[in-house]
A and B are shown apart, each in its own frame.
Chain A
Amino acid sequence: MESKCDTHEKFKQLQKFIDSMEDRRGALIAVLHKAQQLYGYLSNDVIFFIAEKLEIPSAKVFGVISFYSYFTTEPRGKYVINVCLGTACFVRGADAIMREFEKILNIKAGETTEDKKFTLSGLRCIGACGLAPVVMVNDKVYGRVELNQVKTILKEYQEDE
């Protein structure tokens, strides 16, 4: 868990980000991106803080968060595994790759493992169709993934620490 101090420090950073914006009109989505980058997800506290700072009703902020799939109000795992489910990846068997991850991690797409290590989710095309099928773990991209590689990819992250 994060200490109170940490959270306080992050609120300050978020405030600084908001204060530094040239044009606050329509800034909500950019602020939410920043907040999610800082905290990993958007908790109620963060949402109320943003609503107050931007002088927008918090219901509106919730509305925007629930509309866009990029934003999450649930804490995510340390490693977010994104299996690209775009068309090019799909015709080259991305769904089988997804099933393999589900089987090994014993969770469904969209869920997080109990130890909060992995979150598994699907993604719509990251524009790397030439490398199909593609898997992303946090920011690292794995191209031309084959079924038997799934285990090796997971091992890279299971063994750290």
Chain B
Amino acid sequence: MYVEPNTNERLEGQKSIPFYKKQVRRALRNCGFINPEDINEYIAADGYQALAKCLTEMSPDEVIDTVVQSGLRGRGGGGYPTGLKWKYTRQSQSDEKYIICNADEGDPGAFMDRSILEGDPHSVLEAMAIAGYAIGAQYGYIYIRAEYPLAISRLEIAIKQARKLGLLGENIFSTGFNFNIGLRYGAGAFVCGEETALIHSVEGKRGEPSSKPPFPAQRGVWDKPSCVNNVETFANIPPIFLKGPDWFKKIGTEKSPGTKVFALAGKVNNVGLVEVPMGITLREVIFEIGGGIKNNKKFKAVQTGGPSGGCITKDNLDIPIDYESLSSIGSMMGSGGMIVMDEDNCMVDIAKFYLEFTKDESCGKCTPCRIGNTRMLEILEKITKGNGTEQDLKDLAQLGDVIKDTSLCGLGQTSPNPVLSTLHYFEDEYLAHVKDKRCPAGVCQSLFSFHILPEKCVGCTACARICPAHCIEGELKKVHVIDQERCIKCSACYNTCKFNAIEKG
């Protein structure tokens, strides 16, 4: 039987294990339970029943009303009401319309869409067909990252099987409704997760965003009205029709009903995908489901929303997770990456990491994002090298605000968030870098050095032997000394010493 490591208790059944106790699996309902390469197993789990119900018993307007009533909001990060998106696309007049599934899960640290596509691809296909019926589209594209080869192959199999059974193709359920789905591959461009950029990429062009309006609901792929929804959003659709919108609203908060899948990673004991009701607190997710911080270190921050989000500190651990409250503390829901950091992580370094990412991934179309992020990164590099000034911190804040206000697409409008939120919550850490030229977490190499504490050193020579720069001197059983000039700060001695005789600072 499973033994809970914290209490050494033997636990019966999955539901009593702390990792699962507070989880509610809706979007992930079939993942791991059915064979994703066999359509019959999906059908046995009530698969394609929702599509049958929509096509045979409901009008497109009723379908849209049901989704509106459920209150489902886009799980890709923005939180736009899904039903409204469908409604606007339906209202656009056109001979052709398209449904697009955004499976370009580019946020580093998020992998729920990959898991859904690999574990339950049919739920996405079924929901796309329902959406197609609702808005009046006969064709759908799934735009998926080339980095996910297994998900691609599972989708290919699923599409083939669904076509064979007539669940995709012509005259589905003998209702005269035709719907087909094709795959489009990404090629390593983060900005393609933005819907207008994604649409250009589907057309085989450079994935640069364009300004809205016109919104995709008016002019999308091939200039036809298109509706772009995220994988997890689609995965939530079929149960809404089988169990009703009221069932869906039963959990979650008033404005953000339902569940959200988070990818819990970083310095926490239990990592992995967790699906929890909206409104749960970060503390419950990190300390109950996640089992607390690794190696009994101290919690420092949790980062949500990927490169567009911000860091949340221990003071805000008890706020309920929903779209609005995360935005109100300078972060965002994002696609659901949740990276936990402990006392060994330097927040300036983390901010720099995210900015390196957005600088690389900026498509270069608009100036604030292209130049602004580069300048911000230069300032952060200066600070982590120990050459920063207090004026630099003011410049960072001002530059960040301008980039947010003036960038063309979501990438630039949110890219300063990691810097601004760390600047807000960890100002003391920034100040330590610029005023005292010290990195409190001991991460920024130019801002710390290693010293051997004479009272603790027993002269075992372990550090001298491991030092790649051969810069530690000392005889056996005598106190050793590090030559600061030649030290490359690789931490090898620090990690090797068994007597805690090496101090970092």
List chain A positions with a Cβ less than 8 A from chain B.
22-23, 25-30, 32-33, 60, 63-64, 67-71, 85-88, 90-92, 123-130, 132, 139
Contacts and interface: CB of A to CB of B under 8 A. Distances in A.
A71 B114 CA distance: 22
Given A29-B204, A67-B363, A127-B105, A91 B189 contact: no
B261 to A, nearest CB: 13
A87 B187 contact: no
A23 B181 CA distance: 12
Contacts, number: 114
Nearest to A130: B271
B448 interface: no
B204 A64 contact: yes
A110 to B, nearest CB: 12
A91 B108 CA distance: 12
Main secondary structure on A side of the interface with B: loop
17 contacts: A25-B222, A26-B184, A26-B204, A30-B184, A33-B185, A69-B187, A87-B108, A87-B109, A87-B265, A87-B337, A88-B271, A88-B339, A91-B267, A124-B188, A125-B109, A132-B265, A132-B266
Contacts of B272: 130
Contacts of B182: 22-23
B287 interface: no
Interface residues of B, number: 47
A129 B111 contact: yes
Given A25-B203, A88-B271, A132-B266, 17 more contacts: A27-B204, A29-B184, A32-B187, A68-B186, A70-B188, A87-B337, A88-B108, A88-B339, A91-B266, A91-B350, A123-B147, A124-B106, A125-B110, A125-B147, A129-B110, A129-B265, A132-B271
Contacts of B207: 67-68
Nearest to B180: A22
A33 B146 contact: yes
A27 B205 CA distance: 9
B114 A127 contact: yes
A134 B353 CA distance: 17
Nearest to B202: A26
B206 A125 contact: no
B184 to A, nearest CB: 7
Interface in B344-361: 345, 350, 353-354, 357, 361
Given A33-B185, A69-B188, A26 B203 contact: yes
Interface in B163-186: 182, 184-186
A129 B188 contact: no
A32 B185 CA distance: 10
B188 A126 contact: no
B466 to A, nearest CB: 11
A125 B353 CA distance: 13
B306 interface: yes
Contact of B148 (A33, A71, A127): A127
Nearest to B342: A91
Contact of A125 (B107, B201, B271): B107
B430 interface: no
B241 interface: no
Nearest to A61: B204
Nearest to A122: B360
Contacts of A132: 265-266, 271
B265 A130 contact: yes
B248 interface: no
B165 to A, nearest CB: 20
A63 B109 contact: no
